[in-house]
Structure 1
């Protein structure tokens, strides 16, 4: 039940925002946005309270905003290239935004070559505030503490999806059970009789890669297996890295019979390296990936992989950033969704 006593007059000189109305009504910013934009999926009681507050506070949409346009806008930033992974995540973000009456602006945090951040953090954050952004979502990004401070200064909440590194423990993040995923992929290969199992992963310092690698090591240790030192290689979450490291790994006299890939792109690169060397998959080499992007079932043979709920991760991130923008306290700053092993044709018994 809404508290009608919250509808009090503010100082006439105060700037009224959607957050102001949402706080007075005891509802989310997304709900206020729906009322402003004439959406029908709001109860009659809630609509009446919000509309009364809009009149009482003489709310005016920011200049330049078109009538009927969404008034809650979230900035979604991709760090690097627009991969199949990022595409799946943004699908979830956009879908959830539509349900919440919000808009999403998609941009690139840095270029595909990993170039420097284009503008100083304070200028970047002030630009987002001036553009009326309600929140910021970054996927697999490497923001610094300066970026977090800059967003905090302009009161724009931040959520990071599958972060490579978190600059602060209090930064909200959405990820998956990376450790469990790495363990389940390795256990699957061990169950297929493999003993020489390698790991080819992403950036050594990336928290998600470390968790997957630790899961791999835990499964090996539990089975009484010790991976050769040169059977653990890390570089980038890229196809070219998988192809290059895979070629190096498979050319060795003690080459593995199976490879746990840190992501689908790496796994596909390893499979290509095996093909070039004349090795058959899965007869001569079994390979697993991580993510279950749209590329996995299209591989030849289809890729066994650990499925991350990428779309749901995007949905949770969008809902979380809107809750934060509405002043809600989070039960946990870090959310991990369950992973699942999907067995296809790229793995077989030794």
Structure 2
């Protein structure tokens, strides 16, 4: 192996190709890969990636040699010296599955504020559905854009994508992953189980006994934890967990509307519904109105997230406040720690929320 001046052996020949969105895995129009550049420079692929992403932990002579090769093969523009990043502290990528909706806005706001405070910028992009025509392009972009790191709200991140991010040398943190990521990968979530517990306890204390739940995707960690908290509150109160009063779907309004219609048409309809998100709570409001039912006189509703609209709907929504901006800020700080050569104190952080009681819950109607 060719020795690497930064102490890393040159494993580029066996490391596999880097990624490029225009021409396939790691190739510019001339066919040169990051592995080829690493071999020419006598360094590892990860060192080339560090230079490409403007990481500071590369010796100056090595950096200059790699930069010349990157410029020669079109990976860096000659007109922009590498010492002048796109912002004083460079850029982080913020990749989220869906850009629309208030949930995304709150996360983006929190990450942007945390990065702005340290003089860094942020590029926001959408990770499209798997199998779609633009799926995976965010990862291609990370391979070529001079990002310093990434904050990922990509629930379905798979083993290949984790491996590719590590190979590229891009520090990253996850927000609300579907399942616990591989050991050592930092991630941030909400206190979902305690939130489901608090929401359901509130309904039980109001006197409700027939309580339904509309959960999010069944394969998602956060969804299951919220429903598990719901179930624990019922068991704590000595109430049965009735599978007929449980619906799974996603966190959006329209599917929740259909689920709520189904629940509220039952011969013995529930007197309260715990919705796994505020958007699902909106769907429940709409279903109740379609059936001539009033919230909270005929059915109480509790949401989850406390998005900005929650206090402005009629009646104002009782919900579990999830500090979304704080979650994103924590993820941003984790990436900044990695950039500084530090390991976060813990790789798993759950940011505590709280129940916010408003006008959508009341004691159940009298028979």
- Pick the TM interval, shorter chain: 0.7 to 0.9
1:220 equivalenced with 2:216 (yes/no): no
Whether contact under 8 Å (1:19, 1:326) holds in the other structure is no
Q: Does 1:340 align with 2:358?
A: no
Q: Does the Cα contact within 8 Å between 1:196 and 1:227 map onto a contact in 2? A: no
Counterpart of 2:95 (choices 74, 77, 80) is 77
Q: Which residue of 1 aligns with 2:26?
A: none
Q: Distance in 2 between matches of 1:332 and 1:154?
A: 23
Task: Spell out the pairing of 1:146-185 with structure 2 (5 A cutoff).
Answer: 146-185=160-199
Match of 1:302 in 2: 316
Q: Which residue of 2 aligns with 1:241?
A: 255
CA contact (8 A) 1:143 1:166 kept: no
Residue 44 of structure 1 corresponds to none
Residues 298-347 of structure 1 show CA distances to partners (whole Å, capped at 9, x for unaligned) of: 21111000001111111111111121122211221110011100000000
Contact 1:288 1:303 survives alignment (8 Å): yes
**Higher RCO (CA < 8 A, seq sep 6+):** 1
Please state how far the C-alpha of 1:77 moved relative to its aligned partner.
1.1
Tell me how far apart the structure 2 counterparts of residues 107 and 98 of structure 1 sit (CA, whole Å).
Answer: 18
Cα distance, 1:158 vs structure 2: 2.0
Partner Cα separation in structure 2 for residue 305 and residue 178 of structure 1: 13
Aligned length: 308
Partner of 2:132: 116
Instruction: Give yes or no for contact 1:237–1:263 (8 Å, CA) kept in 2.
Output: yes
Kindly indicate whether the alpha-carbon contact (under 8 Å) linking 2:322 and 2:354 is maintained by their aligned counterparts in 1: yes
Which TM-score applies when normalising by structure 1? Answer: 0.80
Inter-partner Cα distance in structure 1 for 2:266 and 2:135: 45
Shift of the alpha carbon at 1:196?
0.4
The structural deviation recorded for 1:168 is: 2.3
Asked if residue 132 in structure 1 is aligned to residue 146 in structure 2, the reply is yes
Unaligned runs of 5+ in 1: 1-8, 25-53
The answer as to whether partners of 1:243 and 1:269 remain within 8 angstroms in 2 is yes
Q: Does 1:20 align with 2:56?
A: yes
Contact 1:281 1:301 (C-alpha < 8 Å) held by counterparts: yes
Whether the 8 Å CA contact 1:296–1:303 is kept in 2: the answer is yes
Counterpart check, 1:100 vs 2:136:
no
Indicate the RMSD between aligned Cα atoms, in angstroms: 2.8
> Is contact 2:97–2:128 with CA below 8 Å preserved after alignment?
yes
Which 10-residue stretch deviates more, 183-192 or 78-87? 78-87
For residues 8-66 of structure 1, the C-alpha deviation after alignment (integer angstroms, 9 at most, x for no partner) is x9899987855336x89xxxxxxxxxxxxxxxxxxxxxxxxxxxxx89x8799964476
1:107 is paired with a residue whose SS is strand
Partners of 1:67 and 1:20 lie apart in 2 by 12
